[in-house]
Amino acid sequence: MKVVLQRSKEASVTVAGKVVGRIDSGLVLLVGVTHEDGEEEAAYLAEKIVHLRIFEDEEGKMNRSLLDVGGAILSVSQFTLYGDCRKGRRPNFMGAAKGEQAERIYDRFNELLKEKGVHVETGEFGAMMDVSLVNDGPVTFILESN
């Protein structure tokens, strides 16, 4: 699995003109799933994300986690994270898991985040989505399970 994590002040995702997910402060996660991913990879990243100390403390240092600050997550499926652009001019998406497998792992990942006490909003798997966010910092990290 691969996750692009962005600390945000506010974020939303819209499908066909309707807001389907919205958070105030917290994290926006763009989530990609590859063929080898399963429960273990989802659990590893869920644990890592909720405890990652990327929010500022009283002294302005990144010392607090999402759980510490009571932030929420907007999770958006993003198969294009496994797009390979090394050859030619058109990305190759062979590294991305097929829809059924990817959706199952993505859903389980979001369940694991919720089980850790985080409020999670999502986009709509497989839909064309408009994602809007105010990146806080900006703070952006790329996390991978392997």
Q: What is the pLDDT of residue 20?
A: 98
Q: Quick one: average pLDDT of 51-63?
A: 97
Number of domains in the chain: 1
Closest by Cα among 95, 97, 76, 75 to 85:
95
CATH number of the domain residue 45 falls in: 3.50.80.10
Residue 100 pLDDT level (bands cut at 50, 70, 90): very high
Q: Which domain holds residue 44?
A: 2-144
Which residue is catalytic, options 6, 34, 55, 79? Answer: 79
DSSP 75-132: EEE-GGGG-B-SSSSS-B-TTBPPHHHHHHHHHHHHHHHHHTT--EEE--TTS--EEE
Which residue is catalytic, options 6, 78, 109, 122? Answer: 78
Whole-model pTM: value is: 0.95
Q: Give 112: exposed, middle or buried? Use CB within 10 Å, 0-12, 13-18, 19+.
A: buried
Q: What is the pLDDT of residue 6?
A: 98
The model's pLDDT over 59-77, given as tens digits with 9 standing for 90+, comes to: 999 999 999 999 999 999 9
The model's pLDDT over 5-46, given as tens digits with 9 standing for 90+, comes to: 999 999 999 999 999 999 999 999 999 999 999 999 999 999
Q: What is the pLDDT of residue 146?
A: 80
Q: Is 80 a catalytic residue?
A: yes
